[in-house]
Amino acid sequence: MNNLLITGGCGFIGSNFIRYMLGREEFTGRIINVDSLTYAGNPESLADRVDAFADRYTFIRADICDGSQMAKIYDRHDVDAICHFAAESHVDRSIVSPDAFIQTNIVGTFNLLELARSHQDRLTLFHHVSTDEVFGSLGAEGYFTETTAYRPNSPYAASKAASDHLVRAYHKTYGLPITISNCSNNYGPYQFPEKLIPLMILNALEGKSLPVYGDGQNVRDWLYVTDHCDAVWKIMRDGQRGATYNIGGNTEKTNIEVVETICAILDEIAPDNDIGPRRDLIAFVTDRPGHDRRYAIDFAKLKQELGWSPAESFETGIRKTIQWYLDNMQWVQRVRSGEYQAWIKQHYG
């Protein structure tokens, strides 16, 4: 992997993965970060890496749905491996505007696969990053495994399921060297403020309402983003080609537990007498359509084959996350105000 193409590298998980990779002693190759910079793509999340790794890191604003543009990038940089993060990923947005999810998540993935197939002589790996939402909803017991049938319940989940199937089909049909990972809910630094955990942190800091869907009993398995990055890299290096691996945090929490934990930590480390106990800010709101009741990941295959387990518990990871937002309010304000988009326009047109 001398020239690694990372798609969606200005997004939450992608930017964390680039930071992780540039810090790995065993990875000495170059990273070509391609991102179309839609609303959740923020190159400022990697601004300090540009100068520090000028000889090994390149950013290109490009849309994976533009096949000809991607082909030029692929050839110009002699790409020999792909890690595909780029995706529209917010369930609520997929309900309102599913067309963008079909284009990016399905057509974009198809374009990348065709590009990889046409350069198969030098391709070492196509790694596809996916989600546990493709499996649908669990009952009170049981876990998603690599053999769980796909039953997506939102346009977002359906688009990711389709892209998973395409990647697997290109391995089976054309012999493309691929790996797939399906991860649970990520959290950590640089996450866009619309997502549950950063939204709750920032609203609670400002004394705003903390909206919780339905009865708050929907369960998610939470995965600290650096643990996810570590798992992806292990799969890319040592995973069986053609295989799928589930990545989980071993941390099932109801939504209301997550919000109450955030409130308790903020009351401890950032008390505000004018706001009072943050739990009083919690407000239950109408549930969203197709809201899956429970996700839980069995990552035994990843643990047994590659020796991976998450380093962070939810208790340690959520404290690190809250502290990061407290320490990086300038980044937060630039995102929330839209200033980062003006910066993008200035630098990239």
The values of phi and psi at residue 183, to 5°, are -110, 160
Q: Give the CA angle between residues 29, 34, 38 to the nearest 5°.
A: 150
Contact between residue 82 and residue 5 where contact means Cβ atoms under 8 Å apart: yes
Q: At which residue do the structure tokens 């790694």 appear?
A: 127
Sheet holding 252-254, edge to edge: 185-187, 219-224, 252-254
Distance, in Å, from the CA atom of 246 to the CA atom of 153, rounded to the nearest integer, reads 19
Which residues form the catalytic set?
Answer: 132-133, 156
Q: How far is the C-alpha of 271 from the C-alpha of 172, rounded, in Å?
A: 56
Query: Which residue shows structure tokens 């998973």?
Result: 164
| Paired strand residues for 147 | none
Terminal Cα-to-Cα distance of the chain (whole angstroms): 31
Q: Which amino acid is at 279?
A: R
